[in-house]
Structure 1
Amino acid sequence: MQGEPVTYWPRATPEAERGAVRGITVVGEEVLHRPCREVAETAFGTPELAALVDDMAATNHAAEGAGLAANQVGVDLRLFVWDITDEWGVRHVGHIANPVLDDVPAEDRRLVEEPEGCLSVPGPYRVVPRLDRAVVRGRDQDGRPLVIEGRGYFARCLQHETDHLRGHLYLDRLARKERKSALQEMRDSRDQVFARRAAAARRLGK
């Protein structure tokens, strides 16, 4: 099952409209630094899982994020959402549970170095090498199989969010000096970032 193209989708998705904005975890919080649990078979199709997807979409929207993993709202589950416009002007919106990234054959592997940020590292961006193509397989909130392919910025998003579910942040891909400078920049800017997110949530009535 692939994503389905549409001619129009509202800026605030139906999920984001329904959902509540949750607090976003920050680097150093334990839930961000360990692998997440699989979404259990019994969870698919439940109101609880649907509400979590809605809340994650609302939280990502209010924070003006490209994607958000469940452990970024303090929930230890292999689940992430995305709402991202790639460099070709195509908007991608969705969610996936229990995602697994396909291996990319060596002959098709092309690393691209681009700046990358993270809602759980409020403020700094740093250059991180990522593959320019990613295919992720998993299931939607009702348990239906999903196969999502991304290129460019969307591929970076899929890899970044899958990393989160393994307990890794983009900081873990940096050299020690770069990581230290990013953490210092975060400490200097986090209050301003948090205030901006809170103001956005109020404007959205969340």
Structure 2
Amino acid sequence: MPIVAYGHPTLRKKAVDIDKDYPGLQQFIADMFETMYASNGVGLAAPQVNRSIRLFVIDATPYAEDFPGETNLKRVFINPRIIEEKGEEWSFNEGCLSIPEIREDVLRKTELHMQYYDEHFNYHDEVISGVLARVMQHEYDHLEGILFVDRINPLRRIMLKRKLTDITKGLVKTDYRMIFPLAKKK
């Protein structure tokens, strides 16, 4: 599936809950994983593929070597709700498939209490920490219409304005298909 780029209106909408009868749900989840892997991502939220629903997938396995002890790194989150974020804030260099060629340090809390449903609509109420919590927070933000560049230093964001504008116009190279909101038709 093509990934929508920075500036696309779907990225700023608050996503809506779905139920287990959502049409084509299992195929959509499979397509989300396939799209995420094809783009070399570790997470992908439905708004990034132009569906404003509360669903994201993650596979943080690429971080397993750097964060020993992390388990169950491939998951599906449907209708997630963050109950609480706590702990020390820690900085981590984040990127986003919807904002190619930009990576910035973002501060996030170390621990996350989240309630959600998995792909089988089994309910989960968990406290998660470490890199898994980090990836989950980033993807959760997409469901709330928040992008990682909203969480960086305001001065730094001003400095990135030109690059962000270029992304909206499609003036960026990626190895995956994208929808650019202001790209000129050829």
Instruction: Report the TM-score range of the alignment, normalised by the length of the smaller protein.
Output: 0.7 to 0.9
The AA in structure 1 aligned to 2:76 is: H
Partner of 2:16: 37
1:113 paired to 2:94: no
CA distance in 1, matches of 2:40, 2:126: 22
Partner of 1:171: 149
CA distance in 2, matches of 1:68, 1:135: 20
Contact 2:36 2:43 in 1 (8 A): yes
CA distance in 2, matches of 1:120, 1:178: 18
Partner of 1:53: 29
Q: CA RMSD in A?
A: 2.1
CA distance in 1, matches of 2:3, 2:146: 16
Query: Runs of 4+ in structure 1 displaced over 4 angstroms?
Result: none
Contact 1:95 1:140 in 2 (8 A): yes
TM-score by length of 2: 0.81
Q: Which has the higher helix share?
A: 1
The alignment-based identity, stated in percent, is 27
Residues 190 and 123 of structure 1: CA distance in aligned 2, closer, same or farther (over 3 Å): farther
Gaps of at least 5 residues in structure 2 are 178-186
The correspondence for 1:103, drawn from 84, 87, 106, is 84
CA distance in 2, matches of 1:120, 1:148: 28
TM-score by length of 1: 0.74
The AA in structure 1 aligned to 2:100 is: P
Structure 2 counterparts to residues 2-17 of structure 1, below 5 A: none
Higher relative contact order at CA 8 Å, sep ≥6: structure 1 or structure 2? 2
Gaps of at least 5 residues in structure 1 are 1-21, 199-206
